[in-house]
Amino acid sequence: MAASNILPISAPPEQQREVRLIARALATQGAQATCELVGPHGERHLIPEALFHLLVRVVDVLARGDAVTVAPVAQQLTTQQAANILNVSRQYLVRLLDEGRIPHIKTGKHRRVSVKDLLEYKTHRDAQRRATLTDLTHLTEDFAGYPELK
């Protein structure tokens, strides 16, 4: 897959309304819903369940005004691409690689990170952040919030 294929895709502003309508229509479908794709000549194709669930997730993200990227989990990313996905600087990502926190391979002088390893790190990092925020919330509640603001 070419590097340009992992660039984020978003719905243009003039299509946002239609995307939101499609998202609502897909959200009202049950887990066992079946959908068909109608081709330009009226031919009908049943959308497999796995593809339907992927479509629901993609449309949901686009309906919120966010962008999506689709990449095979086996794909290797450059350090800049990986940093962009994590929303960190390339230098910070390189430090994570050097510390062994994210597996990577070297091809000559360049490092490559698999999408699978990067997403596993991101999932773990995000879970740790949520746990820390929950702990901070409990501490604030235990100390009755911020009394100086009352």
In the chain, the domains with their CATH numbers are 10-63 (no CATH), 76-142 (1.10.1660)
Q: Tens digit of pLDDT for each residue in 7-51?
A: 788 999 999 999 999 999 888 876 667 788 999 999 999 989 889
pLDDT at 124 over 90: yes
pLDDT band at 1 (very low <50, low <70, confident <90, very high): very low
Q: What tokens appear for 19 in the block?
A: 């995307």
Query: Which pLDDT value is given to residue 128?
Result: 95
pLDDT band at 147 (very low <50, low <70, confident <90, very high): low
| Cα–chain center distance at 147 | 39
Query: Which pLDDT value is given to residue 31?
Result: 62
Q: How far apart are CA 85 and CA 42, in angstroms?
A: 39
Is the pTM here over 0.85, yes or no? no
Q: How far apart are CA 24 and CA 21, in angstroms?
A: 5
pLDDT band at 118 (very low <50, low <70, confident <90, very high): very high
Query: Which pLDDT value is given to residue 141?
Result: 80
| Cα–chain center distance at 85 | 8
